[in-house]
C-alpha cells in the first residue's frame, strides 16, 4: 500500500477516458498493468524513475499532451496523489501517483499519436483498483461541483471544492473498490 508523506497535501485528480482514443489508451496502459521489465523494453527509463517503479509493480501509465494548459496541470501532480478515471458517467478505476516523467519516445511506443502531439507527460500509477461509481453520486457526496459537471480534460480538484477530507474520500474508495 502506498503511504503518502502529508495527507493535507494529497490532491484528487480526475482523468477522463471517454473518447475513442482515450478508451484505447486506457485499455492499453491502465486496464493492462505494466511491469518495469515491459517498460524498459520500449525505451530507456531514467534511474530515479526505475527506483520508484521497482517498488510499485505492477503499475498503470497515463499520458497528457505537452500543451501549456495540460503541462501546468501535470506539474501540480505529485507522488501520493489520488487519480480517478472517468468514462461513461462513471468512475471506473482509481490509484495513487508514483511518479511522473516527460518522455516523448516512450509515449510514441505506448500510444499512436496519429500525427498529433505525443502524450509525453507521463503519470505512473500504483495500487490501481476497479470502481463502478456513478459520477453524479460521487459529486453529490464529495465534491462542490454542479451535478451535471462532466470532466472534459484532466482536473486537479482544488481542496476548496471538496466537501470532506481527502482521507475520507480515500477510505470510501478503498471500501468500494473491486
pLDDT number for residue 114:
67
Q: Is 1 contained in some domain?
A: no
Task: Output phi, psi for 10, to 5 deg.
Answer: -70, 130
The pTM of the full predicted model, rounded to 2 decimals, is 0.93
| Lowest mean pLDDT across 17-21, 101-105, 155-159, 172-176 | 17-21
Say if residue 96's pLDDT is above 70: yes
Q: Is 27 helix (H, G, I), strand (E, B) or coil?
A: helix
What is the C-alpha to C-alpha distance for residues 131 and 62, in angstroms, rounded to an integer?
A: 17
pLDDT class for 117, splitting at 50, 70, 90?
confident
Is 129 domain-assigned?
yes
Query: pLDDT by residue (tens digit) across 13-24?
Result: 999 998 888 999
Q: Quote the domain boundaries for residue 39.
A: 10-176
- Residue 81 confidence (pLDDT): 96
* pLDDT value at 3 more than 70: no
Residue 104 lies in a domain: yes
Residue 9's pLDDT band (cuts 50, 70, 90):
confident
The verdict on residue 143 lying in a domain is yes
**Is residue 81 situated within a structural domain?**
yes
Please report the pLDDT score of residue 64 as a whole number.
95
Are 100 and 74 in contact, with CB atoms under 8 Å apart? yes
Please give the pLDDT value at position 7.
59
- Give the separation between CA 2 and CA 57, rounded to whole angstroms: 11
Residue 141 in any domain: the answer is yes
Per residue in 60-72, pLDDT tens? 999 999 999 999 9
Q: Tally the domains of the chain.
A: 1
Write the CATH number for 98. 3.10.590.10
Amino acid at each position: 500500500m502506498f503511504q503518502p508523506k502529508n495527507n493535507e497535501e494529497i490532491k484528487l485528480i480526475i482523468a477522463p477516458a471517454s473518447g475513442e482514443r482515450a478508451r484505447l489508451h486506457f485499455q492499453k496502459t491502465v486496464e493492462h498493468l505494466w511491469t518495469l521489465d515491459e517498460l524498459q523494453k520500449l525505451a530507456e527509463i531514467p534511474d530515479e524513475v526505475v527506483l520508484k517503479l521497482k517498488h510499485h509493480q505492477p503499475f498503470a501509465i497515463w499520458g497528457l499532451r505537452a500543451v501549456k494548459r495540460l503541462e501546468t496541470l501535470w506539474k501540480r501532480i505529485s507522488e501520493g496523489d489520488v487519480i480517478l478515471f472517468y468514462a461513461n458517467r462513471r468512475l471506473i478505476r482509481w490509484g495513487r501517483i508514483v511518479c511522473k516523467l516527460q518522455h516523448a519516445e516512450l509515449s510514441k511506443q505506448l500510444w499512436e499519436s496519429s500525427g498529433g502531439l505525443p502524450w509525453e507527460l507521463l503519470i505512473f500509477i500504483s495500487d490501481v483498483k476497479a470502481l463502478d461509481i456513478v459520477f453524479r453520486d460521487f459529486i453529490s457526496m464529495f465534491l462542490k461541483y454542479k451535478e451535471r459537471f462532466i470532466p472534459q480534460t484532466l482536473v486537479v480538484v482544488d481542496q476548496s471544492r471538496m466537501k470532506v477530507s481527502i482521507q475520507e474520500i480515500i477510505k470510501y474508495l478503498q471500501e468500494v473498490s473491486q
